[in-house]
Amino acid sequence: MGDIKLMKGNEAFAEAAIRAGCDAYFGYPITPQSEVMEYLAYQEPHKRTGMVLLQAESEIAAINMVYGAAGTGKRVMTSSSSPGISLKQEGISYLAGSELPCLILNVMRGGPGLGTIQPSQSDYFQSTKGGGHGDYRMIVLAPASVQEMSDFVKLGFELAFKYRNPVMMLSDGIIGQMMEKVELFPQQPRMTEFDQSWSTTGKTADRERNIITSLDLDPARHERHNQKLQAKYKLMRENEVRFELIDAEDADYLFIAYGSCARICQKSIRLARAKGIKAGLLRPVTLYPFPTEKIGSMADNLKGILTVELSAGQMIEDVRLAVEGRVKVALHNRMGGMVPSPEDVCNALVQSFSIR
């Protein structure tokens, strides 16, 4: 058993970064995730593991520092919140196009624009459908607890290197700021060997030079590059779908929610079942790839699906695509930093499907 501590989600993420053997963190302060860099600075990771920590002049510089370090085969990360993640989109597109592994944390706050510092889930489209320019995807992990803010760092790096692709942890202001018990995994060593088939650590006599680039001016070759990327995303969809089911075996009605909303729905299930309504929860753990097949396979046995989101209704589009009209899908949402109570969610279920 590892160390058990009471920590904020952002702190658990930062501690997990050191323990996962992360080589470098580049970031820029923004609420509600500034504790990540503050915690790292206090921990002096260069003394603990030799990890590099650098506060950049902007989110743009930070993601490009990630690009440079990732291009040398190192295990690197950055974190930010919604407006800052928007600034990083160009860099994320380049990382995806150049096939570089890295981990990016988004502790979502309300938008659009400067929005609010309160929690939100309104960056779902941005995270799962691309975000930057060009046809690319990244694996998106949605932690719903402080424990997962820690565990997903290790998982995220594994997936990033498995597919040589950026991985995003899509969290929100509630998960980042709340304190919970967390069991920390033991310290892992930092890497000592780097894949010489692609990383730029200096051209040695025994190999050709390596080039990290997303540019190819030959359209035929560039189409092949795009096809290669799409084949990789198909592999992700086949192999990396993750979800959690709670009380779903006998459920007539299914909540579908991720992150903080999934936690709220757990309480709503108990409230609904106390009223005699057989409610359950499907919590997507990966938002990309989305558990499309699982949701589709459940559609015929359900009387209704209620997606619960801190957005105008973004994930609901993927749920509707999954069920292909075979069951009614309704939305309960709050926006701008407001959060529904478990009672609100339970009442929304009753009203949406006219349950008596």
Partner 1 sequence: MKMEEIISPENLVYTKTSLMTDKPLSFCPGCGHGVIHRIIMEVIDELGIQADTIGVAPVGCSVLAYEFMNIDMQQAAHGRAPAVATGIKRCWPGKFVFTYQGDGDLAAIGTAETIHACNRGENIAIFFVNNGIYGMTGGQMAPTTLPGMRSSTTPYGRDVALMGNPLKMTELVAMLPGTYFVSRHSVHTPLSARRFKKAAKQAFENQKLNKGLSFIEIVSNCNSGWKMTPVESNKWMEANMFPFFPPGDIKVNGELVKKAEKPE
Provide the phi-psi class of 107: left if phi over 0, else alpha when psi is between -120 and 50, else beta: beta
Q: 88: which 2 tokens?
A: 């990083």
Least spacing, CB of residue 157 vs partner 1, in Å: 15
Helix (H) or strand (E) holding 102: strand 102-108
Instruction: Work out whether 178 is an interface residue with partner 1 (CB under 8 A).
Output: no
Q: Which is nearer to partner 1, 60 or 321 (CB)?
A: 60
Binding mask 40-69 for partner 1 (x = CB under 8 A): ------------x-x-xxx-xxx-xxxxxx
Q: How far apart are CA 17 and CA 21, in angstroms?
A: 7
Nearer to partner 1 among residue 63 and residue 248 (C-beta): 63
CB of 273 to partner 1, least distance (A): 51
Integer Cα distance of 330 and 307 in angstroms: 6
- Cβ 98 to partner 1, closest distance in Å? 8
- Contact flag: residue 166 with partner 1 (CB under 8 A): no
Per-residue mark of binding to partner 1, 66-105 (x: CB under 8 A): xxxxxxx-x-x-------------xx--x---x-------
Cβ nearer to partner 1, comparing 65 with 264: 65
DSSP string, 242-275: -EEEES-TT-SEEEE--HHHHHHHHHHHHHHHHT
Number of residues that bind partner 1 (CB under 8 A): 39
Find out whether 142 and 287 touch, Cβ atoms under 8 Å: yes
Scanning 165-173, 198-206, 292-300, 329-337 for contacts with partner 1 by CB under 8 A, the matching segment is: 198-206
> Which one among 41, 114, 215, 338 touches partner 1, defined by CB under 8 A?
215
Whole-number minimum distance, CB 240 to partner 1, in Å?
A: 27
Nearer to partner 1, 76 or 138 (CB): 76
Evaluated on CA atoms 142, 147, 150, 151, the torsion sign reads negative
For residue 338, give every residue at least 6 positions away whose Cβ sits within 8 Å of its Cβ, in sequence order, or none: 118, 310
Single out the residue of 87, 117, 212, 246 in contact with partner 1 (rule: CB under 8 A): 212
Q: Does 352 bind partner 1 (CB under 8 A)?
A: no
* Residue 252 in the binding site for partner 1 (CB under 8 A): no
Q: Which is nearer to partner 1, 64 or 286 (CB)?
A: 64
d(CA 255, CA 283) in angstroms, rounded, equals 8
Give yes or no for residue 186 binding partner 1 (CB under 8 A).
no
Among 204, 219, 249, 325, binds partner 1 (CB under 8 A): 204
Alpha-carbon distance 258 to 281, whole Å? 10
CA end-to-end span of the chain: 47
Min. distance of Cβ 65 from partner 1 in angstroms?
4
Contact (CB, 8 A) for 10 and 174? no
- Helices 146-163 and 9-19 cross at an angle (nearest 10°) of 40
**Nearby residues of 152 by Cβ (< 8 Å), 6 or more positions away:** 141, 143, 169
Whole-number Å distance between alpha carbons of 346 and 356:
13
User: Rule CB under 8 A: is residue 347 a binding residue for partner 1?
Assistant: no
Phi, psi of 103 (to 5 degrees): -120, 130
Question: With CB under 8 A as the contact rule, which of the stretches 1-9, 197-205, 281-289, 332-340 interacts with partner 1?
Answer: 197-205
Nearer to partner 1 (CB atom), residue 58 or residue 239: 58
Separation of alpha carbons 82 and 270, rounded Å? 32
Q: Which stretch binds partner 1 (CB under 8 A): 22-30, 157-165, 170-178, 276-284?
A: 22-30
Query: Where in 123-162 is the site for partner 1 (CB under 8 A)?
Result: none
191 vs 330 by CB, closer to partner 1: 191
| Contact by Cβ (8 Å): 349, 277 | yes
Measured CA distances, 85 to 60, 90, 91, 111, 237 (Å): 9, 10, 10, 12, 24
Query: For binding to partner 1 (CB under 8 A), which residues are involved?
Result: 23-24, 26, 52, 54, 56-58, 60-62, 64-72, 74, 76, 90-91, 94, 98, 200-205, 209-215
